[in-house]
A and B are shown apart, each in its own frame.
Chain A
Amino acid sequence: MRLSGPDDVSVRSCPGGPDLVRGATLVVDDDGVQHEVTRPVVAICRCDRSSRMPWCDSTHKAVRPR
């Protein structure tokens, strides 16, 4: 996963959940597919179970109930 943007890109990990990313305009996944960022903040899946990769769709809650 590669994040790119015109300015600083900040990443904050949510425990048991996604990475919150600010400042990216493009997310390039491991297959090289580019995903345009259309929100001020995006959540990137870290559990690999999302059905909307690379975005978190909250499936992690079923994987690791809190």
Chain B
Amino acid sequence: MLLPRERGPLSRRVLQTLRTGPGSSRSTTAFTELALGPDSVVTDEDAQLALWTLYELHYRGFDDAAEDLEWDPTVLRLRRTLERRFERELREAVALRLRSLPGEAPVGETLLALPATSTGPSPAAYLHRHASREVVVDFLRERSLQQLKESDPQAFVLPRLTGRSKVALAELLYDEFGGGRPERLHQRLFAEAMVSVGLDPTYGTYVDEVGALSLASANAMSMFGLHRRLRGAAMGHLAVFEATSSVPSRKIAGGMDRLGLPPAAAAYFHEHVEADSVHEHLAAHDICGAMVAEEPGLREDVLVGAAVCLHLDELSALELTERWNPTAPTAQEVAS
């Protein structure tokens, strides 16, 4: 994969640093902080692209960036500046939703009840009933940013867990990674869905085309996965991600059948109808429940991660439906 195209001053600065190496940049710019404006970084494609690019050093890397930049202090400092703001904004955005939750229920139950608090348009319902072939292709292109590395961010969490929660995460990941059969790897099923509708499944191909919220959704998972401090948020996010997958997946598969798309397109979604009916219980009870039982202080972050997943899904739904149906309200309007 090659470095993406810049989308503004923040991504320009990050890309310059990665392209030339921090040592060769002018000392004055190498050591000045990234200047973040007053606007939200969650819906800012420039900030999110900058962060996505920095995170990819930890996944597949770039052919035109040196591999040892992954742990370069200057590069990490750029990442830290963006992450601090991103995390703060996400926590602020979900604070109200979390205050309305009952405080005493077991965390697993609270997690599985949370998706019912979600509001706004449903891309899955639109894909099911109304979407054209072009819209379905657009949806797959947007989702490719996360789904071609599906479960990779959560795999970073495994060494930070112990006992029951570790075993349950390993069970979940084993299923996501094909259960011993490379042809069942979920990342690969997604790549095959892309190919079946004429998209290029090469990792990172569409990064220059996807919206801010697709980048932000991928980035939230990376931020939660890469920081041990945020392990609770990573697993709470996973629980809601799994719990909001099965029913929408069935609708999306139905929409693909309505349009007569090749079976490989819907196959990924059929698999998730069944798999995520298992995974939501594994994640909510066996992973998050066990984590919180062992370390009660993690409860708050588990719920923060869960609510962040819903929040970003809602914004992403607005971004997509606004594009597919331009009379809908915009993500920026709702976020502010």
Contacts and interface: CB of A to CB of B under 8 A. Distances in A.
Interface string B98-112: 000000000001001
A41 B274 contact: no
Interface string A50-64: 001001111001100
A58 B277 contact: yes
Interface SS majority for chain B: helix
Contact of A56 (B175, B250, B277, B282): B277
A38 B174 CA distance: 11
Nearest to A19: B281
Given A40-B171, A41-B175, A66-B116, A55 B274 contact: yes
B179 A20 contact: no
Interface residues of B, number: 22
Contact of B171 (A41, A43, A65): A41
Interface residues of A, number: 21
Contact of B281 (A17, A52, A65): A17
Nearest to B173: A40
A62 B95 CA distance: 28
Contacts of B171: 22, 40-41
A42 interface: yes
Interface of B: 109, 112-113, 116, 171, 174-175, 179, 184, 246-247, 250, 273-278, 280-282, 285
Interface of A: 14-15, 17-18, 20, 22, 38-43, 52, 55-58, 61-62, 65-66
